[in-house]
Structure 1
Amino acid sequence: MRFRDFHKNIKIRIIETFMSRFIGSMIFPFMSIYLAVHFGAKVAGLLLLINVFVGIGINFLGGYFADQFGRKKIMLFAEVLRFLAFLTMMVCNSPWYESASITFAMMTINSICWGLAGPANQAMMIDVSTPPQRKLMYSITYWANNLSIAIGGIIGAFLFSDYLFELFFALSVASAITASLVAFFIDESYAPVKTDMTPTQHITQLISNYGKVLHDKLFVLFTIAGVLILSMEFQLTNYIGIRLSKEMPSQPFLFWDIDGVQAMGILRSENTILVVILMLFVTRIHHSLKDRTVLVWSCFFFSVGYAALAYSNNLFILFLMMAILTIGEVFRVPVEQSYMAAIPPDDARSSYMAFNGLKFNLSMLIASITVTLGAILPSSMMAGIILAVGLIGTFILKIITPELDRRKEGAELRQHNEAVKVG
């Protein structure tokens, strides 16, 4: 299985996503600073919170619309709207005109676009891929995302303050290219049955769709486990980062002495660099282990690694555990996402993907709670809590992986039968 064997929609989305995230990473990680400068830290925090909740709400609408009207239509609408938002942000941060209020409004429009297009994008990737392709597809996507975010973030740190107009110009160009690719090169992957429904009927159908999703116990358990495991990642920039800044004494590293804040930065860089390097090889490693075994053990080492980071102040142990948990991460992500792709029925993929999109927000919520607990409890207890959260997620996955395998085999059989009929 090679990149050239993928459907053209997958190739275009991977290349386009790399380009968009590369430029976006030069801007959006620093927009909290922009808002704090113009509105003050307290108001900036509230504005960012509004942005998050708007994105969550629209995410559910995006999932429903993509199942009702097709993936491409929703994606194209979102990409055109996103282009107009970025163009407006460029104008509002130009040498001739500046408006932080309009810039924030366009940030909210961008969140709406992510909410609309996200479930459709994910569902389309599943639509046009086969089960054997998905681990490689998700590995390449994860690798490209990490590489683009890492490089873009480094460049943005140097350019954001003095070249914001130029960055928004580049982002607008990238957005225009993306909209053109969706309009002229990407094929529609799902043709829903056309029905004439009133707005009231659409609301009823939307509630019914998500009711069915919530009644899928396997999916709900898989999502809960995913939230618990993903929350480990956010600990580094939340509780672990705060703990290191307060507790870790300066220690020699190569030719310098580094403190806890610098150690956190180095750990983040270690994780990103290792992900980028290891993802080049992990898909080429042939092993006899079943996917369920890989998923459970990778989550176990992932959880143990972050628990160690939550307790130790020894640089060697911190670097070693980051390497171990990163190995677990690169094995976990493709397997976890390929399982996710096998769960939804064909006519509700976007709705499932929209619900699955909540993992990020719920994981952030858990990470925020640990920050509050960390102000009260000692690091030894916090490490135990973080370990328990990860191991509970791992245990849930261990219990449900037999059913996940059956669901995955059923999806492969249906796809094989459809291919035979077409042939």
Structure 2
Amino acid sequence: MRGWFDQAVGGLPRQFWLLWTGTLVNRVGSFVVIFLAIYLTGERHFSQSQAGLVIGLYGVGGALGTTVGGVLADRWGRKPTMLTAQFGAAALMLALGFAHHYGQILAVTFLLGFFSEAVRPAFSAMMVDVVPDRDRVRAFSLNYWAINLGFALAAVGAGLAAKVDYLLLFVVDAGTTLATALICLIFIKETQPSRTAVRPPRGEAGGLITVLRDRVFVTYLLVSVGGIVVMMQHLSTLPIAMTAEGLSAATYGWVIAVNGVLIVVGQLFVPKLIEKRDPARVLALGSLIIGVGFGLNALAHASWFFALSVIIWTLGEMIQSPSNATTVAALSPAALRGRYQGLNSLSWSAGTALAPIAGGFTQQHLGNAALWIGCFLVCALVALGHILSGPSRRRRIASLGVTAPVLPEPIADVPAVAEPVADPPAKLPTR
């Protein structure tokens, strides 16, 4: 066990662990997004479609935020972009808690999405900066582990806080976001590569247009969006479906916490399971498992069955997430790392915006069974897309000179990783 533990967590730079700590603190208090659908339909008495529009506007704001955040991460720097986004998100989280009118909630939610998601490209780029190629599968898995440990605690804590007062959800969320910003301000160093040391490829301007012209990368994102739309149903239509079955908000909190608990227990074993395997096939398999899990909700009427479906799609999520992160990192040229990470985050924001709108419409007009069967079919198409586009991604990664991400040999044989200096260095996640 000690040898496995050393191989799983040893040899990573100090700055990675600071980023990891900030992730954990922030996620432990991520109450609002988990319970936003229940809050809007239960406490504020909005319809399913109105709630879907609010959550969708969060995604629209996030789409703009990730685009701007990716550009700023490359031009302005990783750290100032992160600080601006985090302090802004903390203030807007409190503002949303005190907003009552539908128009106010729409406006504040849009701005909250912008600032909350603007931090992701800078965070992701910083983690890629500081973690060498050979350690990225481990680093991404560890960061994903922290995200889900925090998510599991947040799901349970949010359910308890909602029983006391819904305003408490917003206060705690704002407080942990502020704490993460202070960790960044005090302890984390800038890692943006020197502009003179790393330049865009010859003949390319290095802007967003260059990234959008990368057909291999854009195709990968378009394929992935379908899976994101399905995954995000656990925050929008799933809680509504469970409450329609007579289950309480606290029950939803415990059921969805199964996702985080399972990842916390098993995620550190995933890198060894998927190492040296074709990432495209891993992504395809993960998509199919996710589709089966969500599809089973068509038969669910009791809390234990909903929990079983969560277990199944979580297994798919566990093997898919590290492969997704390493694929994006491998396809990103160093000079455009922030922009590539920004466009990747944009795909998540687009999926987050589309998921509650499409899911809420389907749920309201066609019913829950049609929604969950549709989720399975979408995931099957995503899996096929990954298989068909996998060869072109492998050729692109080879042309960039990036070695396939594998785990190191026993940690004693791995050279020590030098502490990053001011110019060079790191990466992230998300869910």
Highest RCO, 1 vs 2 (Cα 8 Å, sep ≥ 6): 2
CA 1:28/1:375 → structure 2, altered by over 3 Å: closer, same or farther?
A: closer
Does the Cα contact within 8 Å between 1:240 and 1:310 map onto a contact in 2? no
2:392 is the alignment partner of 1:406: no
Partner of 1:117: 119
* 1:61-114 Cα deviation digits (max 9, x unpaired): 11111111221222233344456667xx49x98xxxx7768x968766644432
Secondary structure of the residue aligned to 1:357 is helix
Q: TM-score if structure 1 supplies the norm length?
A: 0.74
| Counterpart mapping for 1:19-418 below 5 A | 19-25=25-31, 27=32, 29-30=34-35, 41=46, 50-82=57-89, 89=94, 110-160=112-162, 162=164, 174-191=176-193, 193=195, 209-236=207-234, 238=236, 267-285=255-273, 289-311=277-299, 322-364=310-352, 365-366=354-355, 368-377=357-366, 382=371, 384-409=373-398, 410-412=400-402
Equivalent residues of 1:311, 1:383 under 8 A apart? no
| CA spacing shift, 1:260–1:366, aligned 2, 3 Å | same
| Farther-moved stretch of structure 1 (332-341 vs 321-330) | 321-330
CA distance in 1 between partners of 2:380 and 2:221 (Å):
15
1:255 match: none
Look at both structures and tell me which one has the larger radius of gyration over its CA atoms: 1
- Over 3 Å counting, the alpha-carbon distance change for 1:160 and 1:211 in structure 2 is same
- Report what 2:200 is aligned to: none
Distance in structure 2 (CA, Å) of the matches to 1:35 and 1:385: 25
Cα separation, partners in 2 of 1:366 and 1:414, compared to 1, 3 Å: closer
Give the Cα–Cα distance (whole angstroms) in 1 for the partners of residues 372 and 163 of structure 2.
37
> How far apart are 1:122 and its partner, in Å?
1.0
CA distance in 1, matches of 2:242, 2:186: 50
Deviation per CA, 1:259-280: give whole Å up to 9, x if none: 7999866653433332222214
* Offset at residue 120 of structure 1 (A): 0.7
Structure 1 pair 376–62 and aligned structure 2 pair: CA distance change class (3 A): closer
Shift of 1:136: 1.5
Write the letter of the residue equivalent to 2:147.
N
- Contact 1:236–1:264 under 8 Å retained in 2: no
Q: Could you tell me whether the CA contact under 8 Å between 2:237 and 2:360 is conserved in 1? A: yes
Q: RMSD value over aligned CA atoms?
A: 4.3
Q: CA deviation at 1:189?
A: 1.7
Deviations 1:383-413 (A, max 9, x none): 5533321111111111122232333443435
Pick closer, same or farther for the CA change 1:167–1:332 going to 2, 3 Å: closer
Structure 2 letter corresponding to 1:16: G
Give the whole-Å Cα distance in 2 for the aligned partners of 1:379 and 1:31: 20
Percent identity for Structure 1 against Structure 2: 21
Gaps of 5+ in 2: 1-6, 197-203, 406-416, 418-423, 425-431
